[in-house]
Amino acid sequence: MYVRVREKIMSEARISRACANFLSDVDLKPGYAQSGGGMNANCRHQVRFVDSMNRVQSVCNVDVRTRGLVAGSLTHARPAELAVLDLECQWWRYREHLTGVSPLTLFDAALPEQLCAGLPRDKYRLCEIVDFSSYKPWFFIRADPRVRSIRNVVRMRTIEYMKRAPRSGLLITMVDDWSHANWRYWSFEHGYQDQMA
């Protein structure tokens, strides 16, 4: 399929702080994230993150190294203002929407129902509610977005890269910072940032 270069550049799209942190984590420089990958079947520019364990052939594939990644992509559907990240790991599922909302499912985690029901909307940040001391500093932990809602759920979880099974988890709906400036997570002068300002 013939694709004009202009259609395959997502630099005009805003990305979330969490997305910038993830791209930094997997060592994907902004220029390659913006123009890499390819057009998917829906004519959307997509960068699919793959590793040696998960390799479905596609023009959208970009090799990354990150422990536990099951599936992932960064997609921009022109003329939408946002490029959205969609990731599944062995322990969590993170998905961004064009509304700017980002649901995160933490598998095998739970909170008391009273806390979930009584949580004020957009008042607390993620790290003020969930104890991440036993987790590595994942990109969404460093972004520390505001929490819109939280509830205990049962969701399908991928196991052994092929099978899916229902598992209990904690569904956290968040609102991150979205900006064109988040593409500056890497520069020639300073390299990768540990955390977006």
Q: What is the pLDDT of residue 93?
A: 94
Question: How many domains in the chain?
Answer: 1
The pTM of the full predicted model, rounded to 2 decimals, is 0.89
pLDDT over 90 (residue 137): no
More confident residue, 8 or 60: 60
- Does residue 23 lie in a domain region? yes
Coil/strand/helix, residue 170? strand
Average pLDDT for the chain = 87
- Does residue 149 lie in a domain region? yes
- Does residue 65 lie in a domain region? yes
pLDDT per residue as tens digits for the range 70-123: 889 999 998 899 999 999 988 899 999 999 999 999 999 888 998 888 889 999
Dist CA 139 CA 188 (whole Å): 22
pLDDT over 60 (residue 141): yes
C-beta of residue 160 within 8 angstroms of C-beta of residue 169:
no
- Does residue 194 lie in a domain region? no
pLDDT per residue as tens digits for the range 158-169: 876 678 888 999
Q: What is the pLDDT of residue 160?
A: 66
- Does residue 142 lie in a domain region? yes
- Report percent pLDDT > 70 for the chain: 90
Residue 89: beta bridge partners? 69
Most confident of 48-57, 60-69, 98-107, 161-170: 98-107
- Does residue 105 lie in a domain region? yes
Q: What is the pLDDT of residue 140?
A: 93
Dist CA 50 CA 57 (whole Å): 10
Q: What is the pLDDT of residue 71?
A: 85
Q: Which tokens in the block code for residue 109? A: 């985690």
pLDDT over 60 (residue 1): no
Q: What is the pLDDT of residue 196?
A: 53
Give the residue among 195, 141, 8, 137 at the shortest CA–CA distance from 83: 8
- Structural domain harbouring 95: 5-182
- Does residue 187 lie in a domain region? no
| DSSP secondary structure, 7-72, as one string | GG--TTSBEEHHHHHHHHHTT--HHHHHH-SEE-TTS-EEEEEEBTTB----TTEEE---TTEEEE
- Does residue 196 lie in a domain region? no
